[in-house]
Chains A and B, each alone.
Chain A
Amino acid sequence: MPLLEMKHIRKRFDENEVIRDISLRVDKGEILSIIGPSGSGKSTMLRCATMLETIDSGEIWYMDERAAYVDAKGSKVYPRGEEQKKVRSYFGLVFQNFNLFPHYSVMKNITDPPIHNQKRQKAEVYEEARMLLKKMGLEDKENAYPCQLSGGQCQRVAIARALALNPQILFFDEPTSALDPELTGEVLKVIRSLADLHIAMVIVTHEMNFAREISDHIIFMDQGVVAVEGKPEDVFNAEHARMRAFLGKLEH
């Protein structure tokens, strides 16, 4: 059963059509990486999937339920109220620039959403948060504030914060591109460890070796369409001129 299915998505900003009929599917425990040149629409695709942007046509399905779609008359149908709450609980998003809440401690960043929004028991949430922090290698940081942490530590807190809500699928938008190279490794390591837990993930990244190694499936996006897709080795060996140029540029 697919966790997420995006069917024939289109999205434009004014006259600029950024996503032109893209479909994708993510199954339980599957890892999908999205690669492609700057401006190809990768972030926009994630923002559509997480409903930060509304689609102009197509359908978004979560867990075999049509969560959002554009009907025949062209009106956008998005969930509201309880239904919206349920759909949003399926996914989490890790941002490029973390977007931690600076006025909350690390612990509060992680525990406030489950306690306040999911109405879960405080004790249980705290216990789980401590376990998550341990997994992130941040057990000594629970009382720190985001401004006291390095970028890599902030990103690991952001990952813990997303995980604390027990999402079915986690989206990452270039989780390491705001980080110094020496901090990238620690974040990638954490994401790898999530793969072992069989959490479904969609990762937009410029880290090609990482994508190749971790993904079940890779999509190469170019100018708003899926130009190449398939298993990592197939995608990286494909003879697609734009993609060869893109990979070549990264190497230098």
Chain B
Amino acid sequence: MSFQVMMHELGEGMLKSMGIFSLTLLFALPLGLLVSFGRMSKNRLLKGVVWTYISIMRGTPLMLQLLAVYFGPFYLAGLKLGSNWRFTAIILAFSVNYAAYFAEIYRSGIESMPPGQYEAAQLLGYTKVSTFMRIIFPQVIKRILPAVTNEVITLIKDTSLAFSLAYAEMFTIAKQIAAKETSFMPFLAAAVFYYVFNALIAFLMERIEKAMAYYT
């Protein structure tokens, strides 16, 4: 296999990794916010349920969760889901897992806001919703950005866990080629791919952080 063919195949794997990455963020970031509301809810039942969910997501390996989501419907209900289920299961498992982590980050950010901001907003006539959307949340984003960056970078590397469902993302492909060609090269190339992707995302997050540095 020529170097070019290998790079081409790895490149396709990379695109799939990026697909998992972006879809996971797309779903997990808003879902995490909802989950954090549940976690901070005054309703004891809701709070308990959400607490349990978060603790399971953080307390068990993501790879196990992937397997559970993928095989669960069959073993629990005898459902045979179509060929698209593999990808759906991956996105579902990743989103639900990452939402739990993001929820805790949102919560810490929201709880770190000084009560004076809420009180000033109330006195100035903001509704509860406007207070959150206009006053609290923009400041929370700035506060949690470093923690979110950490998770996002972990996510890039975690996409390789999709290999456990034999999904042809980059790591799976690298492994296949390496086995076929008895060469270490594909792993090296994959490492470079991950590294560059990481560097790009880190750069982007830094830019966002800088854009919000106009106030303290």
Contacts and interface: CB of A to CB of B under 8 A. Distances in A.
A and B assemble together: yes
Nearest to A47: B119
A113 B215 contact: no
Contact of A52 (B122, B139, B216): B122
B124 interface: yes
Contact of A118 (B116, B121, B125): B125
B134 interface: yes
B116 A102 contact: no
Interface string B173-216: 00000000000000000000000000000000000000000111
B117 interface: yes
A243 interface: no
A93 B215 contact: no
Interface of A: 50, 52, 85, 88-89, 91-93, 95, 97, 99-103, 112-113, 116-118, 145-147, 161-162, 165
Given A112-B134, A116-B134, A99 B122 contact: no
B92 to A, nearest CB: 35
How extensive is the interface on chain B, given as a class? Answer: 20 to 34
Contacts of A113: 124-126
B49 interface: no
Contacts of A161: 124
Contacts of A89: 125
Given A85-B125, A88-B125, A161-B124, A99 B214 contact: no
Given A102-B139, A112-B134, A165-B124, A146 B117 contact: no
B215 A117 contact: no
A151 to B, nearest CB: 15
Nearest to A158: B120
Interface in B71-85: none
A50 B139 contact: no
B215 A103 contact: yes
B41 interface: no
Interface of B: 114, 116-117, 119-127, 130, 134-135, 138-139, 142, 214-216
Nearest to B127: A117
Given A95-B116, A97-B116, A116-B130, A102 B123 contact: no
A38 to B, nearest CB: 19
A91 B119 CA distance: 13
B206 to A, nearest CB: 19
A88 B123 contact: yes
B214 A145 contact: yes
A105 to B, nearest CB: 9
Nearest to A96: B116
Contacts of A117: 124-127, 130
Contacts of A145: 214-215
Contact of B126 (A92, A100, A116): A116
Given A88-B122, A101-B135, A116-B134, 11 more contacts: A52-B123, A85-B125, A89-B125, A99-B114, A99-B119, A113-B124, A113-B126, A117-B125, A117-B130, A145-B215, A162-B124
A182 to B, nearest CB: 23
B117 A101 contact: yes
A146 B114 CA distance: 16
